[in-house]
């Protein structure tokens, strides 16, 4: 029988750690967006699990949408080129937009997306990221809501993949080099 733990180097954040932090982020977002027309935009596929849990912790009316962007492919290193492979399906003109991302690495993708959504008429665009790797930043991008800061390691689990695997892990960890 398959055991993913054989491929995990280290568990960084447990299911309980994540649930507690997501609840805190949801409460903060609820307060900050009271009375606003908020569209929560999840960046697929990595942010899907995080966004599902996060929106259940936001206690105010919201709409959701999704975008797919790519800068990694099946590599562990960003190419630096952002491609939108699936765009929004809702009009964001005059709305507050909260981008939900799994992990911020170089900052290139979120810098691009923030400007792209502002140019589409969003009233304001803020970012909520489960994980932040500030040591890898190539482009400074403000991140209003951060779950956890992490070191420069390749992270998997809780929606975050390596070559489309490991998204279903209920924790966040690092992959053994022998597993990649």
| Residue 88 contacts residue 61 (beta carbons within 8 Å) | no
| Residue 175 contacts residue 166 (beta carbons within 8 Å) | yes
Candidates 105, 124, 132, 152; catalytic one: 105
Q: Is 105 a catalytic residue?
A: yes
What is the rounded distance in angstroms from the CA atom of residue 18 to the CA atom of residue 37?
27
Helix (H) or strand (E) holding 44: strand 38-44
Quick one: the chain helix, strand, coil %, rounded to 5?
25, 35, 40
Closest-CA residue to 172 (of 131, 119, 115): 131
Residues noted as catalytic: 105
């Amino acid at each position: 029988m398959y055991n993913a733990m054989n491929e995990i180097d280290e568990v960084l954040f447990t299911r309980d750690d994540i649930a507690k932090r997501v609840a805190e982020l949801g409460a903060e977002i609820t307060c900050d967006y009271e009375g606003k027309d908020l569209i929560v935009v999840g960046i697929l596929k990595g942010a899907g699990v995080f966004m599902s849990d996060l929106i259940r912790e936001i206690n105010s009316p919201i709409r959701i949408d999704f975008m797919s962007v790519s800068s990694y492919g099946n590599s562990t290193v960003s190419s630096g080129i952002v491609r939108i492979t699936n765009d929004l399906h809702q009009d964001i003109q005059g709305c507050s937009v909260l981008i939900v991302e799994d992990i911020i690495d170089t900052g290139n993708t979120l810098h691009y997306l923030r400007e792209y959504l502002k140019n589409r008429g969003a009233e304001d665009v803020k970012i909520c990221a489960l994980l932040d790797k500030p040591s890898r930043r190539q482009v400074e991008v403000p991140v209003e809501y951060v779950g956890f800061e992490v070191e420069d390691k390749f992270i998997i689990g809780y929606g975050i993949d390596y070559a489309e695997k490991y998204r279903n892990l209920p924790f966040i960890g690092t992959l053994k080099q022998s597993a990649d």
